[in-house]
């Protein structure tokens, strides 16, 4: 796979390019600030009086209503929650898109599953930084960047690919490398990763391990340390150097337990169920389920979320973390997306 860098640029964005960033949550704030610092003419499209608009105004921006902000923009980047995008697009964006404009996303969900269809003559693409927004901003200010994915869904003008790479460059992506993908691949792998590994897989593994120890008579506090607290050590090692670094910095006893017992926990049955989850993503079954869930007010979502937050590991964790004076606000807090339906 070719990794795109500054050497691959055939065009760049400058003060003659007006980019409308719709949304000022985790990614929206980072994109807007990085674009502006790269010399791009940036206008924010936000819901008047909303929390995002108030924050943006406090940080020196002059946000406009979305419909007004879109007018005259050659690039429109939508950085709202997935479930909010279709209605905002229909009502405030689509009627005001300039002919030949580039409509952009940071996740392909709504385009891939047919919830958003841009007018004819409009380019459609995505640039997806592979990090939370705070890191996108921090690395840019350090003169670095984070890896990004880019994809072109529709090239109506013949310049979509070049402009998409130029956008990735303007937010710092070419400093770390930009990988080309498709809307289908980005969307399906992202959803699968969240469900099977990064969110669903990890949280279920942690809570089931905690329950196993507590049900066997061990103290909840000890179970918390072994099944949740120390997970950061392993994740950090994997993040920095893959499996090899984990094996380098844990004991041989731990390595032997990993190699001999790990496959018994996450076995062929678990992989088969992962394939089922992937098929639900690929066929659109998950997307349809999630869209219906939102349409009826998210009752199942709220019930399952409450079950998670009421798990005993949460009470134990709060008590123990209160004694960990070195803990500061982490990315889960600082980079929390504004999930309001209209920003």
Task: Give the pLDDT of residue 330.
Answer: 53
E strand spans, the chain:
3-4, 18-22, 41-45, 75-78, 102-105, 123-129, 148-154, 178-180
What's the CA gap between 67 and 89, in Å, rounded?
9
Question: Tell me: the pLDDT tens digits for 261-295?
Answer: 999 999 999 999 999 999 999 999 999 999 999 99
What's the CA gap between 134 and 244, in Å, rounded?
28
Is 319 annotated in some ligand binding site? no
All domains in the chain, ordered by first residue: 3-182 (3.40.50.720), 194-327 (no CATH)
Is 100 annotated in some ligand binding site? no
How many residues would you count in the chain? 343
Is 226 annotated in some ligand binding site? yes
| 168, burial (CB in 10 Å: exposed 0-12, middle 13-18, buried 19+) | buried
Task: Give the pLDDT of residue 329.
Answer: 53
Angle at 215 between CA 212 and CA 217, to 5 degrees: 115
Task: Give the pLDDT of residue 336.
Answer: 38
Question: Tell me: the pLDDT tens digits for 160-179?
Answer: 999 999 999 999 999 999 99
pLDDT of residue 205 exceeding 80:
yes
pLDDT of residue 186 exceeding 50:
yes
What's the CA gap between 231 and 226, in Å, rounded?
8
Is 139 annotated in some ligand binding site? no
Is 52 annotated in some ligand binding site? yes
End-to-end CA separation in angstroms for the chain = 37
Task: Give the pLDDT of residue 203.
Answer: 97
Is 133 annotated in some ligand binding site? yes
Listed range (180-194, 201-215, 315-329) with the worst mean pLDDT:
315-329
Is 47 annotated in some ligand binding site? yes
Task: Give the pLDDT of residue 333.
Answer: 42
Question: Tell me: the pLDDT tens digits for 295-322?
Answer: 999 999 999 999 999 999 999 999 999 9
Question: Tell me: the pLDDT tens digits for 96-148?
Answer: 999 999 999 999 999 999 999 999 999 999 999 999 999 999 999 999 999 99
pLDDT of residue 51 exceeding 90:
yes
What's the CA gap between 210 and 228, in Å, rounded?
8
Active site residues per annotation:
107
pLDDT of residue 338 exceeding 80:
no
């Amino acid at each position: 796979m070719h990794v795109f860098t500054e050497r691959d640029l055939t065009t760049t964005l400058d003060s003659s390019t007006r980019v409308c960033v719709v949304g000022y949550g985790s990614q929206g704030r980072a994109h807007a600030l990085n674009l502006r610092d790269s010399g791009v003419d940036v206008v924010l499209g936000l819901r008047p009086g909303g929390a995002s608009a108030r924050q943006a105004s406090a940080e020196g921006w002059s946000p406009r209503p979305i419909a007004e902000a879109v007018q005259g923009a050659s690039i429109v980047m939508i950085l709202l929650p997935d479930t909010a995008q279709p209605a905002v697009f229909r009502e405030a964006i689509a009627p005001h898109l300039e002919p030949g404009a580039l409509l952009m996303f940071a996740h392909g969900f709504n385009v891939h599953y047919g919830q958003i269809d841009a007018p004819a003559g409009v380019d459609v693409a995505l640039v997806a930084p592979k990090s939370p927004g705070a890191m996108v901003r921090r690395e840019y200010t350090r003169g670095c960047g984070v890896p990004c994915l880019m994809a072109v869904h529709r090239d109506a003008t013949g310049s979509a690919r070049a402009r998409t790479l130029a956008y990735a460059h303007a937010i710092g992506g070419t400093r770390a490398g930009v990988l080309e993908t498709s809307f289908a691949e980005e969307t399906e792998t992202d959803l699968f990763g969240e469900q099977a590994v990064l969110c669903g897989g990890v949280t279920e593994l942690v809570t089931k391990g905690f329950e196993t120890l507590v049900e066997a008579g061990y103290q909840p506090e000890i179970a918390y340390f072994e099944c949740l607290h120390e997970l950061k050590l392993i994740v950090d090692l994997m993040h920095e150097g893959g499996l090899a670094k984990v094996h380098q910095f844990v004991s041989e006893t731990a390595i032997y337990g990993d190699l001999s017992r790990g496959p018994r926990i996450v076995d062929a049955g678990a992989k088969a169920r992962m394939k089922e989850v992937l098929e639900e993503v690929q066929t659109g079954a998950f997307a349809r389920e999630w869209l219906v869930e939102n349409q009826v007010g998210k009752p199942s979502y709220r019930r399952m979320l409450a079950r998670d937050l009421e798990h005993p590991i949460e009470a134990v964790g709060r008590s123990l973390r209160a004694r960990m004076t070195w803990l500061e606000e982490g990315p889960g807090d600082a980079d929390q997306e504004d999930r309001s339906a209209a920003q």
